[in-house]
Amino acid sequence: MCRTLSCWTLSTGPQPKGASPKTFVLFTGDRHFQPVVRYLVQELGKRVELYGIRSTASRALRDAVTETFEIPEEDQQLVECFQYTVADFNRIALNHDNPFATYQSLVTRVSRNSGLPKERIEMAVTEMVNRGYITRKKHRVAYDKPMINVLIPEWDELIAAGLQIIALIRRKDS
């Protein structure tokens, strides 16, 4: 692990040699910072504050820091991505009793159909999984094929969250 850290404060610039701030502030959500944060908090006894956009900061990173401040940016953009994703699952449900999609196929399709960047759709799908709107499961497409990871919509959770769901009326053939 790192033995020396170059420390800066917003008001005074570089710290004198040998001085160490009591609080570190991170503006990220990247989970790759977790080992450094754990070192600062557990080994050095420092306070680490995390500022990140709501729903994008890694849960592991949020758990490692001393305090988290979420910047609410999701609102309309995230809800819009949720709605496009739900619409894609609705489209699949029109032809299949148990709709599912692989992560990559879902992100690619929703991005293409909505015109939104893949990164934004990836963030939304990950958040939908974190909130329980979509479940990750192993699924066997065919008996002689290996199991694959799929995403399955949790319709009750989506409805409870107030996401616009298109009612699907399927004709059952006798």
Tell which phi-psi region holds residue 122, choosing left (phi > 0), alpha (psi between -120 and 50) or beta.
alpha
Measured CA to CA, the distance from residue 88 to residue 110 in angstroms comes to: 7
Measured CA to CA, the distance from residue 134 to residue 154 in angstroms comes to: 5
Show pLDDT as tens, one digit a residue, over the chain (174 residues).
333 334 444 444 566 677 788 899 888 888 888 999 999 999 999 999 988 776 677 888 889 999 988 776 556 788 889 999 999 999 998 888 888 999 999 999 999 999 999 999 999 999 999 999 999 999 887 888 889 999 999 999 998 888 866 544 333 343
Clarify whether residues 152 and 79 are in a common domain: yes
Asked whether residue 126 is domain-assigned, the answer is: yes
- According to the model, what pLDDT value does residue 10 have? 44
Clarify whether residues 147 and 106 are in a common domain: yes
Give the domain CATH number at 40. 3.40.50.1010
Clarify whether residues 31 and 103 are in a common domain: no
Q: Which of 53, 71, 89 is the last residue of a domain?
A: 71
Structure tokens of 124? 């939304």
Q: Which positions ≥6 away from 118 have C-beta within 8 Å?
A: 107, 108, 111
Clarify whether residues 67 and 94 are in a common domain: no
Clarify whether residues 52 and 86 are in a common domain: no
Question: What domain range includes position 41?
Answer: 8-71
- According to the model, what pLDDT value does residue 173 have? 40
Q: Tell me how many domains the chain contains.
A: 2
Measured CA to CA, the distance from residue 104 to residue 87 in angstroms comes to: 16
Clarify whether residues 19 and 55 are in a common domain: yes
Neighbours of 137 (CB within 10 A): 12
Asked whether residue 2 is domain-assigned, the answer is: no
Clarify whether residues 81 and 95 are in a common domain: yes
Give the domain CATH number at 146. 1.10.10.10
- According to the model, what pLDDT value does residue 116 have? 93
Asked whether residue 165 is domain-assigned, the answer is: no
Clarify whether residues 100 and 54 are in a common domain: no
Clarify whether residues 17 and 35 are in a common domain: yes
